[in-house]
Amino acid sequence: MERHRGQLTPQTLRRAGLVAGPTIFLALFFIWPVAQLLWRGLSDGDGALLNTFSSSSIRSVAWFTLWQAVASTVLTLIVALPLTAVIANVTFRGRRLVQALVTVPFVLPTVVVAGAFLATGDRLGATSGPFSLTKSVFAILVAHVFFNVAVVVRTVGSYWGQLSRDDEHAARTLGTPAWQTFFRITLRRLRPSLLAATSIVFLFTFTSFGVVLILGGARQRTIETEVFRYAISRTDFATAAALSIVQLIAVVALVALNLRLRSSLAQSDRLAERAQPAPNTLTLGLSWMTIAATIGLLSVPIIILVEQSLQTGSGLGFDNYRSLADRPPFLTVSPQRALANSLWFAVLATAIATVVGGWTSIAIVYSPTKISRLLDLGYLLPLGTSAVTLGFGILITFDSGWLDLRQSWVIIPLAQALIGIPFVTRAVVPVLRSIDPHLREAAASMGSSPAQIRRDIDFPIARRALVVGAGFAFAISLGEFGATSFVGRRPDFMTVPLAIGRLLSQPGQSIRGQAMALSVILMVITTVVLLIVDRADRSNVL
């Protein structure tokens, strides 16, 4: 008897089960909270959404959010592209180390970056005027450049480093000057990677929270900080939800654009290796000058942060570090306890992100194209979505009934895991897709089940990528500030980023010293994790 066309087969059931887990997790902890935000903003009887668009102060905030993101993106490209060109085109000893050092600012918690620039401003006396490194637009722009240089270097550099030189050699042979060859051929071929990097940097600066909150002061406000202010300070949830809707519209558009650009990168014609030894002493000298200048500029705030953390009333010492065991009156726990909380939550968040991210990666690779694209988009959205919006949505969603998680410690690693999962999938999916299908076919012909194939072939090959994704997830979770500002409201759940933010808002040299010491500890942990991950990273997660 002929099988009915719509009848469920074991293969269909397996695929459905494969997709069900990641879909349920995404629906429960991301789509549902976002839907609650949309409903809160659209159903408000006082017309909060219309009032938001008609308010001149909100329009001013939206305009500042837009133009500072554009300016930050342009400045980041200007600073990052010279080093990107060197890494893509020139081989030199320590090349991977340079890439790792450039990536350190990207994985630093935003409150640590803000603290580093506050310390730099104090040390250099740049605390007032248009070029102040505290409470100014200039401080925000410089901090955003510091934070996002790695995105351009790794995204554009990895793509550029695999482009064939044949077209450029042909143009030079025909007498085309070097600068014309670059603009007419090289730059045109780099367009997909440049647009992809630009969209990521713009997304991160558009949704920046910790940097703007701490370095911007009361005058420089973005949509992100306004969501926090209306929800927490004013308890005006309707206006906060309306602002979140505006943010979400922009984020969805940017994430969709980035996915399209990523697919164009994957389809582009590339070769294995472009970088070559410097052809002459001048090129080698200029290359090392570029490396030294970029690494030097990125190192200044970090060096000053360490130096300020060691400052005591009588000179240099470890008094600020020893004082972390004492609880200041405006903190709910001691900084030492906050560090223990952060490490515990980061471990739990990493475990969740690794399991769900690995499962999602398999579902993306094995599912039909349409489902694969939906899952890919769905799990990239939390990375691009405002962390404040994410935390706010979770807060108002899991606040009643059997899913009331406001007083539960579970809510913190869940929120942090949502931001870490995209790093796992972006590390694992390309590796799974690169596996020779003949290996799977050979195993299947010998009687191996799909589960056995994934266990014996896919997992051993993708294990290193899974470790890389888990490492990034741990570093991101450890320093997460935006979402935790909402879901970590219980006093004994205070984390290091929340403690640093509170310390930096208080006057006093000893309190500032505690903030700097805590920032250095967090920076050292994330840097060590990054260096370990970078040794295993061949997937270019950024």
**Among 363, 271, 284, residue whose Cα is nearest residue 93:** 284
Q: Are residues 378 and 483 in the same domain?
A: yes
Q: Are residues 243 and 115 in the same domain?
A: yes
Q: Are residues 258 and 143 in the same domain?
A: yes
The β-bridge relationship of strands 311-312 and 315-316 is antiparallel
Q: Are residues 277 and 141 in the same domain?
A: yes
Give the per-residue pLDDT at 349.
Answer: 95
Neighbours of 381 (CB within 10 A): 22
Give the per-residue pLDDT at 396.
Answer: 82
Residue 6 included in any domain = no
Residue 324 included in any domain = yes
**Among 152, 134, 156, residue whose Cα is nearest residue 143:** 134
Q: Are residues 224 and 329 in the same domain?
A: no
Q: Are residues 260 and 232 in the same domain?
A: yes
Residue 2 included in any domain = no
Domain endpoint, select from 256, 274, 309: 309
Residue 331 included in any domain = yes
**Among 96, 98, 364, 113, residue whose Cα is nearest residue 215:** 113
Q: Are residues 58 and 26 in the same domain?
A: no
What 534-538 contacts at long range (C-beta under 8 Å, 24+ apart), as own/partner pairs, is 534/96, 534/99, 534/100, 534/103, 536/464, 536/467, 536/468, 536/471, 537/427, 537/468, 538/464, 538/465
Give the per-residue pLDDT at 3.
Answer: 47
Give the per-residue pLDDT at 74.
Answer: 95
Q: Are residues 141 and 256 in the same domain?
A: yes
Q: Are residues 370 and 333 in the same domain?
A: yes
Domain endpoint, select from 246, 278, 309: 309
Q: Considering all CA atoms of the chain, what is the largest pairwise distance in Å, rounded to the nearest integer?
A: 91
Q: Are residues 305 and 322 in the same domain?
A: no
Residue 4 included in any domain = no
Residue 471 included in any domain = yes
Residue 449 included in any domain = yes
Asked if residues 244 and 86 have their Cβ atoms less than 8 Å apart, the reply is no
Q: Which residues share a beta bridge with 312?
A: 315
Q: Are residues 57 and 17 in the same domain?
A: no
Q: Are residues 372 and 438 in the same domain?
A: yes
Give the per-residue pLDDT at 10.
Answer: 62
Task: Determine the structural domain holding residue 293 and report its residue range.
Answer: 44-167+174-309
Which CATH number belongs to the domain containing residue 441 in this structure? 1.10.3720.10
Total number of domains constituting the chain: 2
Give the per-residue pLDDT at 109.
Answer: 83
Residue 37 included in any domain = no
What 456-459 contacts at long range (C-beta under 8 Å, 24+ apart), as own/partner pairs, is 458/362, 458/432
Per-residue pLDDT of the chain (542 residues; tens, 9 = 90+): 444 445 556 666 666 777 888 888 888 888 888 888 777 766 665 656 666 666 777 788 888 998 999 999 999 999 999 999 998 888 888 888 888 888 888 878 888 888 888 888 877 776 676 667 677 888 899 999 999 999 899 888 888 887 777 777 787 787 777 777 888 888 888 888 888 889 889 988 988 888 888 888 777 888 888 888 887 777 777 777 777 777 777 777 777 776 676 666 554 555 556 767 777 888 888 889 999 999 999 999 899 889 988 988 777 888 889 888 888 888 888 888 999 999 999 999 999 999 998 888 888 887 777 777 778 777 777 776 777 778 888 888 888 777 778 778 888 999 899 888 888 888 888 888 877 777 777 777 777 777 777 777 777 878 888 888 898 899 889 988 888 888 877 788 889 998 988 888 887 788 888 888 999 998 899 888 887 887 765 555 55
Domain endpoint, select from 278, 309, 340: 309
Give the predicted TM-score (pTM) of the model.
0.81
